[in-house]
Amino acid sequence: MQNISRRHAIASGLAVAGLGFSGLARAQELVPTTVANAAGNVNISLQQMLRDLNLYEKYGLKPNLMAVADGSKIMGGLIGGDIDSSVMSGFGQIFPAVEKGAKLKMIGGCQMVPSLTLFTSKDNVRSLKDLEGKTIGTGAIGALLHQLCVAILVKNKVDVKKVNFVNIGASGDVFRAAIMGTIDAGTGETAVLEDMELFPKLRMVEGGNMTTGLMEYTYQGAWTSDRMIQTKRDVLVRTLAAHAELYRYIHTPAAKNDFLKARAKMLPNSTEKEAVSQWDYIQHYKPYAVDLVLSDERLNYIQRLNVETQVQTAVMPAERVADMTIARDALALVAKMKG
């Protein structure tokens, strides 16, 4: 019944704007857009919710939603024009690229705090300091997982020059490597802390909870190319509007059934307990950017971290790396649709 009522609410919102689902199709053909987001259990579940609830269609879009494990492929697709936007992925790597001439910009926020924690199955690793001289599994150097690990280590005065970072791949691959012990530590979802009995050899590295330890770090955001901003700005506004609705909805208890059903479709082999743990994490931390706009300070924090790790030479002004007017226009569109 909840899905029916939710769909009815969306249809009602369209009716207020003078467009039912069939009216929308008659008034204008849905505009195709390709959106590539970071692969991950929560992200793919949210993407399925976007499909199930027809949120892109509500804003006149026909989405091609992709889950991509490698952030460099998202960047390459944006630069090459095969991808229109990425609205749920790490973005630290775009600043060095912009500094070197890439025409990319941040246009909004997504997940405002990291959802990861450092785990280990090694008896000789207890605290973050113990990771000096050890191996941490991450993604590509400079990409999201690597940058998060560097950030939590630096904040806790660990000498990152003494840590060996190994590119394992996506977050799920890193977590499996941590369980197997092929690395000394690796990231996993913070929600796993509620299911530690499922992993008897695994434990959290003391001080390694990034959700509580790195609240200033914007985990995922929305970004695109300058070309898209110049030629398809309206598509970007409508894309962010769809996500603003999703983020507001997912923070409410009413979204539970939709989230669990979407997750079950995408992760049929996952247990109900794992799914509920992820849901509880979302409800507890309410991590999503319901107001979309990223502050200069949040953008500059990532840039300063890049400078500290020598992947970027200087912090660039906000107008060179971001255009938050798109997020503000998306919020105005959401308000108009609701009005």
Angle at 229 (CA atoms; ends 228, 232), nearest 5 degrees: 60
Please enumerate in sequence order all residues whose Cβ is within 8 A of that of 319, keeping only pairs 6 or more positions apart, or say none: none
Q: Indicate if the pLDDT at residue 305 is higher than 50.
A: yes
The secondary structure of 22-73 as a DSSP string is: HHHHHHSPPEEEEEEEE--HHHHHHHHHHHHTTHHHHTTEEEEEEEES-HHH
- CA dist 283 to 55, 140, 255, 275, Å? 21, 30, 10, 13
The whole-angstrom separation of Cα 308 and Cα 313 is: 9
- CA dist 207 to 37, 63, 152, 271, Å? 29, 40, 8, 28
Amino acid, res. 137: G
User: Which DSSP letter does residue 141 get?
Assistant: T
Q: Strand runs (DSSP E) across 168-309, as ranges?
A: 185-189, 203-209, 221-225
CA 185 centroid distance within chain? 22
Average pLDDT over residues 136-151: 87
Structure tokens at 82: 């095969």
The confidence score (pLDDT) of residue 309 equals: 78
Please enumerate in sequence order all residues whose Cβ is within 8 A of that of 12, keeping only pairs 6 or more positions apart, or say none: none
Structure tokens at 140: 């590509």
pLDDT tens, residue by residue, 309-336: 788 999 999 999 999 999 999 999 999 9
pLDDT tens, residue by residue, 30-86: 999 999 999 888 999 999 999 999 999 999 999 999 999 878 899 999 999 999 999
Q: Give me the chain's average pLDDT, please.
A: 90
pTM: predicted TM-score of the whole model, two decimal places = 0.84
Please enumerate in sequence order all residues whose Cβ is within 8 A of that of 233, keeping only pairs 6 or more positions apart, or say none: 326
The whole-angstrom separation of Cα 29 and Cα 27 is: 7
* Domains of the chain listed by start with CATH number: 2-112+218-338 (3.40.190.10), 116-213 (3.40.190.10)
Please enumerate in sequence order all residues whose Cβ is within 8 A of that of 33, keeping only pairs 6 or more positions apart, or say none: 56, 61, 62, 63, 64, 84, 85, 232, 235, 239
